[in-house]
Amino acid sequence: MSAHQGSSLPVNRPVAPSDVLGLAWPIMISMLSRTAMTTADSLFVGQLGTAPMAAVGLAGVLCWMGLSTGMGLLSSVQVTSAQRTGSGRHEVVRRLLWQGVWLALALGVLSALTAPLGALVFPLMGASEEAAPMASSYFALRMLGAPLTFVNVALMGWFQGRGDTRTPMVATVAANILNIAIDPLFIFGWGPVPAMGMPGAAIATVLSVGASMLFLIWRARPLAGPMVKPNAPLLRELWRIGLPVGVQWTLDVASFVAFVTLLARVGEAHLAAHVIAIRIVSISFLPGHAVGEASGVFVGQAIGARQPEQARHAWRAGTRVATVVMVAASAVFVFFPIPLISVFGADEQVLHIGTSLLMVAAGFQVFDAIAMVALGSLRGAGDTRWPMVVCVATAWLIKLPIGVLLAIPMDFGAAGAWMGLTVEIIVLAGLAVWRVRGSKWLTVAATQKAKQKARSKAA
């Protein structure tokens, strides 16, 4: 594969749903395989009891919060690679790989320093005396593996920005098969390997991510050429585009940590039902997110090629594809909630609560599809500050207040909290579509470059 074979922006015709789907399906497979990995963790850990299931839910959310800043920052690798691919600047695309790796390593070391914080945070989140130590050990091990995680994210973003979504898919699927294979080995023990419980699940995940990273490095080296030293202008561009996404994801996840803390205080059964429902809903959420990512790649390439109408076509095509996928998921949630939840070995109370959560989820699927594609398109254009403000505002000013009100004073429990989530998604979808229907988002990248040139001349 040459460095030029990644571009997939259609020539002399609008971006169609089939184009978006062609770029998105490997991302869908990648994300669904990650869901299979986390679902396998939940299935294996669920055999240890309700407290471990609640602990893995708390630990998973805090891990995501600890990693979200770096992962958001590194989303800029995909955006900049797509824009440079669209403009035909393939030499810069090659250099961007190495800049992404340098940034990933630095962020990974900083994140690893947070490993001991779980022991302080989980009791504050409402974890029981039994669940808190298990969650803390899982969190510590996952954060120590942050450098591997971040380099893996940077490499995947680089390939996807070039229009190659299949290489990351192969890496992810292979790594997740490895994870599922070694999960029971480390969790339950076998032969010379002792039973480690929840820490074993974390070790299996870190090892699998490391395997994915090594595969991507092996595939990228012939394309990217010799190692390039850190380049200040390119690193500044990655930072400028990625920082708002990192802040947005961190504060959004922080709101979700507060959300999960609320459920922990409502009761362990409500938290366990939430964990199970989230695992199930991810099966529909992640394909929608994949379509948003694919739309963002096309938008980035269109911006680089100075074809703003192609960017609009990519957004519209992506919205159609994501809507179809998530409407189908809604139907499954409505007609088959009990079989889906029963797979996790839920008791009768958790089964009842989880069923109500899937009914709520069925109601917000279409709005979630619309929001994800619109936000992915904005990010692909380099418009990351506006989504940051809107996403943070809706999470903290809509989801949490409404969720708290419905969950506790009005006694709807986990279902009430999820109703607050539904209102947030509907408002966010409306605002994101309003932004994309305008024109300012299409000129953000050019405006920022003009400002950079002006600052350079002034200096």
**How high is the mean pLDDT of the chain?**
86
Q: Is 225 left (phi over 0), alpha (psi -120 to 50) or beta?
A: left
Whether the CB-CB separation of 428 and 391 falls below 8 Å is answered with yes
Per-residue pLDDT reduced to its tens digit, 99-129: 999 999 999 999 999 999 888 888 877 667 7
- Encode the chain in three state secondary structure: CCCCCCCCCCCCCCCCHHHHHHHHHHHHHHHHHHHHHHHHHHHHHHCCCHHHHHHHHHHHHHHHHHHHHHHHHHHHHHHHHHHHHHCCCHHHHHHHHHHHHHHHHHHHHHHHCCHHHHHHHHHHCCCCCCHHHHHHHHHHHHHHCHHHHHHHHHHHHHHHHCCCCHHHHHHHHHHHHHHHHHHHHHHHCECCECCCCHHHHHHHHHHHHHHHHHHHHHHHHHHHCCCCCCCHHHHHHHHHHHHHHHHHHHHHHHHHHHHHHHHHHHCHHHHHHHHHHHHHHHHHHHHHHHHHHHHHHHHHHHHHCCCHHHHHHHHHHHHHHHHHHHHHHHHHHHHCHHHHHHCCCCCHHHHHHHHHHHHHHHHHHHHHHHHHHHHHHHHHCCCCHHHHHHHHHHHHHHHHHHHHHHHCCCCCHHHHHHHHHHHHHHHHHHHHHHHHHCCHHHHHHHHHHHHHHHHHHHC
Residue with tokens 């914080």: 117
Model pLDDT, residue 3: 40
Per-residue pLDDT, averaged over 155-174, amounts to 94
Residue 432: pLDDT band with limits 50, 70, 90: very high
Model pLDDT, residue 267: 77
Distance CA 10, CA 266 (A): 51
Per-residue pLDDT reduced to its tens digit, 78-89: 999 999 999 888
CA-based nearest residue to 142, from 195, 91, 100, 205: 205
Question: What does pTM read for this prediction?
Answer: 0.82
Per-residue pLDDT reduced to its tens digit, 380-412: 999 999 999 999 999 999 999 998 899 888 878
Percent of the chain with pLDDT over 70: 93
Per-residue pLDDT, averaged over 214-234, amounts to 90
CA-based nearest residue to 153, from 103, 118, 191: 103
